[in-house]
Structure formats: C-alpha cells, structure tokens
Amino acid sequence: MKTAKRKRTQEFRIGVHTSISGGISRAVERAASLNCNTMQIFSHNPRQWRKNQISQGEAGRFSILRQKYDIRPIFIHASYLINLASLSGEVLSKSISLLSYELMNADKLGAEYVILHTGSARGEDERKARGRAVKAILRSLNAGRYRASLILENTAGRQGDITSSMRTLAEIIDLCNCDGIGGVCIDTCHAFSSGYDLASNEGIEKLISEIDRYIGLDKLKLIHLNDSKQPMGSRIDRHEHIGRGFIGAGGFRKMLSDRRILDVPLILETPKMTEDDDRNNLKKVYEILSHAV
C-alpha cells in the first residue's frame, strides 16, 4: 500500500455526530467545545415522520456560529425512517417527501451534504430494489432546486441491504446520473461488517481500490470512523469506541496512513454513554494520526 506522512493534525477535518437538543444552533457550540472543525447532525428527530420547521432566527444563529468556529463541511444525516427501496407504497411516498425535507433543511442551514442510507427490501431481488431507490431519489431531488448534495452511505450487509458494496453504491449513482448526488460516505464499521477486513493491509487496499474503480476517489466526501463490536463479515451494525473493537487501533493507523484519502473529512459516530466519550474517542483518533506513517 502506498503511504505518506499525514498532514499536521490541525489541518484535518475531524468531528462527531452532535446533538441538536435545545436548538439546532446548540449543536455548533457542542462541536466547537470538542475542538471539532467539521460536524454531523440530524436536522430533526430522526425517528419521527413529523416535519418541524427550523426558524429563520435559529438558522441564522447556526450560520453565524459555524463561521465563527470555522466548522466545515457540515453533514446532515437523513432520518432512519427513510426507505427508498420499500415495497410499501405508503412508506415509499413518505420517504421521498422526508428526503426532500432533509435537503430543504440543509439549504436553510447552509449545510453542504445530506447523508442517505438508501434503504432495504427484504425478500426481493436487490437489483430491482436498487432500481426503485433510484426512481425515488430522483423524485426527491426533482422536488426542488437544492444547493446541498446528497451522498450515499454504505451499509453493513444485513438481509435486505442493497448498498453494502462499492459496486452497488456505484450502480445507484450511475443510474441516477444527476448532479444532485455528490458522492459517497464510507462507514468503517459497516464496511468491516459487510466483509472488508479493515484490520489488514489487504482489506484496506481492497476497499480503497474499489472506491477508486467503481466510484472515484474524488467522490469520497466523508469517512464515518467507527470501530466494530462484531467480527469482520458479521453483517451486524454495532459501533464501538475507536481502538476497542475488532478493527482496532492498528487497522485505523494503516487506513489513515493511506495518501489517497488524506483530505477526506472524518466523523465519529462512536457510542455515547458518558459526557467524556466523544472527547476520549477524538483524543484516540489524534493519537492514531500522530503515529500514522
């Protein structure tokens, strides 16, 4: 694997998924208190179909604070309820509407990207399910002229998943063939769980080479940096603290040394059991980066 010394740590874009409790602008303050210079949020309660309106005042405070603390880019993670491959007409219709709402919120806040899990269709041919997801994505994107870009996230490969490999992510992007999709977000736990052995040089090379071959490294917009509670190939999505899972500090050190992904922002979605968890995981990432060669 070709490697190079990483840039100085202060030049990296590293952040966490930040709570919007108490108002969406509070998320920026929470990120800044952790010395994050990028961040990810939900734009509303991700487990409800209900659409709350973000006030102009709150959106304005959000914009002022992100500029003050130089937090960029900002990623909005779309609701977990969205399933654009659903066989249910009702769920599909509500999902299309909710994705359009996520993109509208991103524009209101000035967020650059909306991250999407396209969905699942248990018991159906995956290619048909991806075709349905493509049509749904295009309907959502065509509902307005959005400045924010949609990026697709890989999944852990459980039954019904339609985007657990780089090839399947690329298939959806190619079939959509539109400017509204800006690229992909690769989750390390999901990749590991679906069969990419990120604890080894060979597995890391396989993942990065497939991104390059099928999607293009210029379209890798974000890495969700998460360790895995479950072994490689388990197809179970269970995030773990950095260095305490099956990928381990050694795996992350190998991966983050690769010069081909030097400039990709990193967002942690590690467990939050105490107030110190985010800070401790960020500290571990900086420690790993300082030893990456």
pTM of the model: 0.95
DSSP string, the chain: --B-PPPPGGGS-EEEB---TT-TTHHHHHHHHTT-SSEEE-SS-TT----PPPPHHHHHHHHHHHHHTT--SEEEEPPTT--TT-S-HHHHHHHHHHHHHHHHHHHHHT-SEEEE---B-TTS-HHHHHHHHHHHHHHHHTTS--SSEEEEE-----TTBS-SSHHHHHHHHHHH-STTEEEEEEEHHHHHHHT--TTSHHHHHHHHHHIIIII-GGGEEEEE--EESS-TT-----EE-TTSSSSHHHHHHHHHTBGGGTT--EEE----SSTTHHHHHHHHHHHHHHH--
237 is known as an active-site residue: yes
80 is known as an active-site residue: yes
Confidence (pLDDT) at 2: 46
In a domain, 1, yes or no: no
107 is known as an active-site residue: no
- Overall domain count for the chain: 1
What are the tokens at 57?
Answer: 């005042």
Confidence (pLDDT) at 124: 86
In a domain, 4, yes or no: no
Does residue 3 register a pLDDT over 70? no
In a domain, 136, yes or no: yes
| pLDDT tens per residue across span 21-43 | 999 999 999 999 999 999 999 99
The CA distances from residue 132 to 126, 150, 192, 227, in Å, are 10, 17, 27, 32
In a domain, 2, yes or no: no
pLDDT band at 248 (very low <50, low <70, confident <90, very high): very high
In a domain, 116, yes or no: yes
Confidence (pLDDT) at 7: 55
Strand 113-116 and strand 266-268: the pairing is unpaired
187 is known as an active-site residue: yes
291 is known as an active-site residue: no
Q: What is the domain extent for residue 204?
A: 9-291
| pLDDT tens per residue across span 124-142 | 899 999 999 999 999 999 9
**Cα dihedral sign, 285-243-76-151:** positive
The CATH number covering residue 275 comes to 3.20.20.150
Which one of the listed residues 29, 269, 277, 287 is annotated catalytic?
269
Residue 185 pairs in a beta bridge with: 153, 222
Which one of the listed residues 77, 112, 132, 240 is annotated catalytic?
77
Which one of the listed residues 153, 161, 171, 278 is annotated catalytic?
153
In a domain, 3, yes or no: no
Strand 227-228 and strand 239-240: the pairing is antiparallel
| pLDDT tens per residue across span 169-224 | 999 999 999 999 999 999 999 999 999 999 999 999 999 999 999 999 999 999 99
In a domain, 132, yes or no: yes
17 is known as an active-site residue: no
186, 187, 185: which is closest to 245 by C-alpha?
Answer: 187
